[in-house]
Structure 1
Amino acid sequence: MTARKKPTMEDVAQAAGVSYATVERVLNGRGGVSRAKEASVLQAARSLKIDRALHEVSVRWLRIAIVTQNPASPYYAALQQGFELAQKSFETYRVLCSVTFFDDLEPQSLAKVIERAAQKADAMIVVAYEHPLVVDAVSRVAKKMPVVTLASDLPDSGRLAYVGIDNRCAGRIAGELMGRFVGREGGQIMVIAGLRTYLGHEERDGAFRSVLRRRFPACEVVATVESREDARSTERLTRDAFKKYPDLRGIYNISVGDEGVVRALKAMKREHEIVLIGHELTPVSRALLIEGVMDAVLDQSPFVEAVRAVEVILGHYNRGTPSGLPLQTPISIYMQENLPMQF
């Protein structure tokens, strides 16, 4: 019997349709190879089972540009921590996560931030709202490199994937909870969005209204107001709402600023009369649930979303072993009686 021939770099080169020098550069991490050829070489090497730890091949550094809002709110702070963990967890695969924050919510400004961040990147992860200028900027980037949208999708941008919760499902859950908590007598309900141009916020609002209309017709959504992702503005918005709708029974806060809503309710001595449902389990929302002034919180684990988004980019470049985790992250519902322990 003859021993089976061990696969060589020449075999890999033939299978991948590239030169021996290209294979040598990829497998020895010497750089200078296009992304397409690099992927072909690694795929051929894996299929031939070449005797190397290919998941640890020291290829060139992969630069991921991450564009997101400033981590002033707990959600964006948790995202930042998730990207920091991803940087450490995937260090073997030579990945660099470079985060660019934006404060200015004007579309022209955000489009420029996206284009600038992409200049020295191999991939992009972006949390952005839907506006023609923003979608156009992301589309131009997506023609050059893989783009993953996070938390709120931009489906017409040519992005590679969306990582996050099903925002319509989140809105439906919030509507179900609101209808049951307010009760059969119903009443007036207000929605506080961050920016309705965030597709995720629009989807939550629309689905919330749909469930109340269909299943709890005694509940009337009288207004959707925008905090513009400014946690400080929710107190003013809540006070203004009660001037116009003194019989308000419930508030669904889609975005940040639960503490501002509660400050306004306490000032009016209405904190135990109003049903308040929000998003993201944070130290603030946790304390409000324990106090009994907040009724339910829908959580989407931004920490996990950040890590998963980086993993999607790595998978596109054939680096690492897929975890098999879904792109759509689960929604957890927290109330006073099922809060997890703090660590």
Structure 2
Amino acid sequence: MKSKSSRASHEAIALAADVSVSTVDRVLNERGGVTEEKARCVVEAAARLGFVRVLPEIWHTTKRIEVILPKNSTPFWQSLDDAFVRHGAALPRHYVMQRTHLKENDAALWRRAILNPAAPRAALIIAADAGAEIAPALQEVMDRGEIVGTLTTEIPGLSGHTHSGIDNVAAGRTAGKLMAGLLRREGVLAVLPPHERRVEHTQRIEGFRQMVADRFEVQVHPTYDRNHKLSSLVTNLLDKYGVVGIYDTGHDSVEIGETLRRRADRPVWIAHEKSSVHQSYLKTGVLDFVLDQDPNQQASHALLDVLHRCREEKFMLVPVQKRELRIYCSENL
């Protein structure tokens, strides 16, 4: 038998939630038989009224989050994948996270994965392999009600999504400002992107040019992921063009580092991502600066954003922080 105070509390909650007292009783005692919408109204009303007891979790259907990443074994992509594994383990129990890895440079494959998921999903987090080719597919899944978030590459012209990566144009501008500040001699600057397909690399090159083009000749040499040929490429750039600065927009860089280590005319070298390889070259003075986009923070931000947009209020106690571009040199490792 309920006490008078309990009955009065339930009546007050029922009035505030615009439901019956029996509905309040079912929700607070977790007996079921109440729609999710009514259950949410009851719990929110009880919280507003300061109802002193542990409130039940509102029943939820299982929600699926798919994370699509490229198949790429470089340290950055491995760190990003590992971060999703760690943060995914802390999701509410009614969320399921699936990681999908796709071959790079296959826009048709990426479009199919976006439009035809293996199971219904509430949200898609994607490190897009390209921009304009898959933007219509992302727009289509948003139009049918899916939450979409991007990592590493923000799709130009796509509205209605959240980007959890850095501003890549600003990253390129930062590299350019550092390069121009270090160099006191004229000469050629070489930019070495892995390939020209990924939007983040073209954006970094754009930002870099904005900062250095008035003082230096800028040559862009895509390597098409042929890292085993980087040594001969770098040697040729130094011997043939007298390159005074190298901006590497995204390699593991062993071939670059070992080549520059042997050169008395070592140019200024700026790279991306704080890998163990880059840290070693920073410590020995072969590499001047590393720009790091913090994959752990990107994964955390992306998942918290999904929870926020799915109205998981209790997980908003941890603020969704702005993503930061971090700069490392030999002095702050």
Q: Same fold (TM over 0.5)?
A: yes
Task: Report the Cα distance in structure 2 between the residues aligned to 1:55 and 1:172, rounded to whole angstroms.
Answer: 50
1:14 paired to 2:8:
no
Q: What is the 5 A alignment of 1:1-343?
A: 5-6=8-9, 10-11=14-15, 14=18, 47=48, 56-90=57-91, 92-117=92-117, 119-143=119-143, 144-181=145-182, 183-213=183-213, 217-222=214-219, 224-228=220-224, 231-232=227-228, 234-235=230-231, 237-239=233-235, 241-242=237-238, 245-265=240-260, 269-270=262-263, 273-319=266-312, 320-322=314-316, 323-326=318-321, 328-339=322-333
Kindly provide the CA deviation profile for residues 18-62 of structure 1, in whole angstroms up to 9, marking residues without a partner as x: 9x989968995979978x888777766655656665695452332
Q: How many residues align?
A: 324
TM-score, L = length of structure 1: 0.80
Task: Report the Cα distance in structure 2 between the residues aligned to 1:205 and 1:31, rounded to whole angstroms.
Answer: 58
Task: Report the Cα distance in structure 1 between the residues aligned to 2:310 and 2:32, rounded to whole angstroms.
Answer: 17
Task: Classify the secondary structure of the residue corresponding to 1:298.
Answer: strand
TM-score, L = length of structure 2: 0.82
What value does the CA root-mean-square deviation take over the aligned residues? 3.6
Task: Report the Cα distance in structure 2 between the residues aligned to 1:54 and 1:134, rounded to whole angstroms.
Answer: 43
Question: Which of the two has higher C-alpha Rg?
Answer: 2
- Measured after TM superposition, the shift of residue 289 of structure 1 is 1.1
Highest RCO, 1 vs 2 (Cα 8 Å, sep ≥ 6): 1
Aligned-pair identity (%): 23
8 Å CA contact 1:254, 1:278 repeated in 2: yes
Task: Report the Cα distance in structure 1 between the residues aligned to 2:29 and 2:146, rounded to whole angstroms.
Answer: 22
- Measured after TM superposition, the shift of residue 145 of structure 1 is 0.8
Q: Which amino acid aligns with 2:256?
A: V
- CA gap 1:99/1:45 in 2 versus in 1, 3 angstroms: farther
8 Å CA contact 2:10, 2:25 repeated in 1: no
Q: Which amino acid aligns with 1:88?
A: A
Q: Which amino acid aligns with 1:270?
A: R
Task: Report the Cα distance in structure 1 between the residues aligned to 2:148 and 2:25, rounded to whole angstroms.
Answer: 27
